[in-house]
Amino acid sequence: MTGKRARTALLVALPAVVLATLCLLSLALGAADVPPDQVIRALFGDAPSRFVDNVVWTVRVPRTALALAAGAALGLAGALMQALTRNPLADPGVLGVSAGASFAIVLAVGVLGINSLYGYVWFAFAGALIATVAVYLLGGLGRSGMTPVKLALAGIAVTSMLWSFTQAIVLTDVDALNKFRFWSAGSLADADNGMVWRVLPFLVIGAVLALACAPALNSLALGDDVAASLGRRLGLVRLAGVSAVTLLTGASVAVIGPVVFIGLVVPHVARVLAQSAGIGPDQRWLLPLSAVLAPSLLLTADILGRLVARPTEIQAGVLVAFIGGPFFIAMVRRRNPAEV
């Protein structure tokens, strides 16, 4: 028991330490490096110069805070989708949720002329929800019903269709195209404090809903019949889960763009860590752990993007895709062809 407690404590402490370290590096590294001791002094109101104070508080604190919030949201959304569908390939990007939110945002900005975050974020929620329903309906067609690979293929089909519609809109407006090219790559570069505070309420509500579903998700993993016999209201659980995914994904896409694969990769890493700690597939641990690991991945990609192409940078979404693409291919190859 003592050994299990030690492993559990390590499971909690190690990701938190890694995330804290990455936050410090995010505040310190970039086009102009700031020594860590000066970063810490600036955070406590004792910056050695106005330049350091501006770099830390005006540029990098909002950027890091947005990575924490959006990364945690995408990690939670991915873990929740995989638990709800019992599909290891589920992810907001793979299953078309991000593409639905992106298309709705481009429609709001490019066609309707809505440029405020509070204006088009509602379109992001609607687009995410419609895309989710469409993928579920398509994935359930056929005699065999819904299978993990069919759901993934339906998501890829819906994503491709929505991206073609999105491209058709942005190609008719040069200004919209210029903005879209930068935003669609998934970037934290334009983060500011106002942006973080405006989407935070949506992310908090989505996170609360997701974490509240955790006990019911453990029952759902045993099958619908067993979960119902244990008193779980399956319709309510799925409604809460879809609402959480819509809020988390829609708000994240609205502020950082359609960053894919975070919700796919991170829950698998969380399950490996939980298994090594002797916890097993307990969603009460997996969901919070995914919420900690996901911003670590996003921050790592953002930091590398700043360093490899200085003084310019590579968008974080591009580097995340380099990690997630091969991971997704490996996951698909592991599936039983009979499940398609």
CA distances for 211 relative to 73, 214, 283, 292, angstroms: 11, 5, 9, 13
Within 10 A of 247 (CB to CB), how many other CB atoms are there?
A: 28
- Helices 97-106 and 234-256: crossing angle, nearest 10°? 50
Domains and CATH numbers, the chain: 2-94+173-339 (1.10.3470.10)
Q: Which of 173, 198, 166 is nearest to 99 (CA)?
A: 166
Two tokens, residue 229: 């016999």
262 vs 255: CA distance, rounded Å: 16
pLDDT in tens, the chain (340 residues): 566 677 777 888 899 999 999 999 999 998 889 999 999 999 998 989 999 999 999 999 999 999 999 999 999 999 998 998 888 878 887 778 888 988 988 888 878 878 777 778 888 888 888 988 888 888 777 666 666 667 778 888 888 999 888 888 888 777 666 667 777 777 888 788 888 888 899 999 999 999 999 999 988 888 778 888 878 887 888 888 888 998 999 889 888 888 888 988 899 989 988 888 778 788 989 999 999 999 999 999 999 999 988 888 888 888 888 877 777 677 666 654 444 4
3-class secondary-structure state, position 88: coil
3-class secondary-structure state, position 147: coil
100 vs 77: CA distance, rounded Å: 15
3-class secondary-structure state, position 196: helix
CA distances for 207 relative to 16, 164, 246, angstroms: 18, 31, 11
49 vs 201: CA distance, rounded Å: 34
> pTM for this structure?
0.87
Two tokens, residue 154: 């339906």
- Residue owning tokens 């419609």: 130
Phi, psi of 9 (to 5 degrees): -65, -40
